[in-house]
Amino acid sequence: MKRLVIPVGLCLATAASAEQRDAPDFSGSYLCKSMASGGVAPGKDNVWRAVTFNVADHAYVVKVTDTRKTVTLSYEDVKARVYTVGVKEFGTQTDPRNCYGRGRGLEGAEVASADGEMNCVYIGTEYMFDFKRMRFQTMFRGGYMDRDTDNRDTPYVSIGICEKID
């Protein structure tokens, strides 16, 4: 009889540990303020050089909305929540632009997260948010590699911190 109890107990423990749980909900609005930014830009002589950008008044408003969907990530034992992530520059009157996540099971402007980290792209800009640690990073490809040699968009990387505002 004891031989049957031990395997049954192990099966129950294994089933419980293999059961997926839902990820925490990071829905809400965030103010993400830039702290530092650098990249490259063409100078007066049209030679591209390293540049440090002034980000004293630069921030994003980020609206994270739970879609009530989940996806299973291959590297987690948690069902990742699926969100829409709208990003706009603070102080502008434009509507937030939903950025596009990457991953299996996502459609259109959806982003999956199991732990508060969200990565998405919108027209040449990659956004990386970590709403657990309240940090962000953006990267813009810019015009240096553009076929149009007159494109003066400046590639850059920015970092900063976020705070929840609702």
Q: How many domains does the chain have?
A: 1
**Do residues 112 and 71 lie in contact, with contact meaning Cβ atoms separated by under 8 Å?**
yes
9 within domain boundaries: no
Q: What is the pLDDT of residues 46-81, one digit of tens each?
A: 889 999 999 999 999 999 999 999 988 766 667 899
| Joined tokens for residue 91 | 């102080």
Q: What is the pLDDT of residues 100-146, one digit of tens each?
A: 998 777 888 999 999 999 999 998 899 999 999 999 999 998 888 87
Task: Give the integer Cα–Cα distance in Å for 166 and 164.
Answer: 6
Buried b or exposed e, range 84-104, using 16+ CB within 10 angstroms = bbbbeeeeeeeebebbbbeee
Task: Name the DSSP class of 23.
Answer: P
69 within domain boundaries: yes
13 within domain boundaries: no
24 within domain boundaries: yes
Q: Which residues contact 156 (CB under 8 A, 6 or more apart)?
A: 37, 38, 39, 40, 53, 138, 139, 140, 142
> What is residue 12's three-state secondary structure?
helix
1 within domain boundaries: no
Q: What mean pLDDT value characterizes the chain?
A: 85
Task: Name the DSSP class of 100.
Answer: B
Model confidence pTM above 0.85: no
State the residue range of the domain holding 95: 20-164
